[in-house]
Amino acid sequence: MILVALGANLPSPEFGAPPASLERALVLLDAEGVRVKRRSSWYRSAPVPPSDQPWYVNGVAEVATSLPPEALLAALHRIEARFGRVRARRNEARVLDLDLVAYDDRVSAPGDPAPELPHPRLHERAFVLMPLAEIAPDWRHPRLGLTVAEMLRRPPAGQGVTLIE
């Protein structure tokens, strides 16, 4: 199972408000050889760490691709750049954030040539776990051995996440 987390908290000049931008990002994945198999609803979440930024809109998609993790991550970064994303500071507001959360059961570490998998802060992010629980509650974290449902039994503290109706 290949999982991509999506998020935005600034409008895109070309694509509009965060929900519309995230919908467009899902469409653009296909042009990169990445097929969306299923996706979560959108969720509104407080910035992490807490700040005065606008709240985010987040979701998770299960995708299928023949691209290896490095090439998939490069494709995600190309899509972000198309939206005007510039990586200047960590945890800054953004028009689009696409994270490779998991790639099958691969486990890698910082310094490996491949992206760090699973995403190193996945289990600490309610804004990823809640949408992931919607599409794959039984997915098991390959490093921790816990399912999404089990990780949500001990939700990260202080992270407001609500379903957008």
Residue 84 sits in which domain range? 2-163
Catalytic residue among 99, 105, 138, 140: 99
- Give pLDDT, residue 111: 75
Whole-model pTM: value is: 0.93
- Give pLDDT, residue 86: 76
Catalytic residue among 39, 44, 97, 125: 97
**For each of the chain's 165 residues, which pLDDT tens digit applies?**
999 999 999 999 899 999 999 999 999 999 999 999 999 999 999 988 778 889 999 999 999 999 999 999 999 999 999 998 777 677 788 899 999 999 999 998 777 777 889 998 899 999 999 999 999 999 999 999 999 999 988 877 777 889 997
Look up 85 and say whether it is catalytic. yes
Provide the pairing of β-strand 35-39 with 2-8.
unpaired
Give the number of domains in the chain.
Answer: 1
Annotate 70-98 with DSSP letters as a single string: HHHHHHHHHHHHHTT----STT---S-EE
Look up 97 and say whether it is catalytic. yes
- Give pLDDT, residue 35: 98
Task: Give the CATH number, domain containing residue 73.
Answer: 3.30.70.560
Cβ neighbours for 10, distance < 8 A, ≥ 6 positions apart: 18, 54, 93, 94, 95
- Give pLDDT, residue 49: 76
The burial of 77, by beta-carbon neighbours within 10 Å (0-12 exposed, 13-18 middle, 19 or more buried), is given as middle
Return the SS3 of 19: helix
- Give pLDDT, residue 128: 95
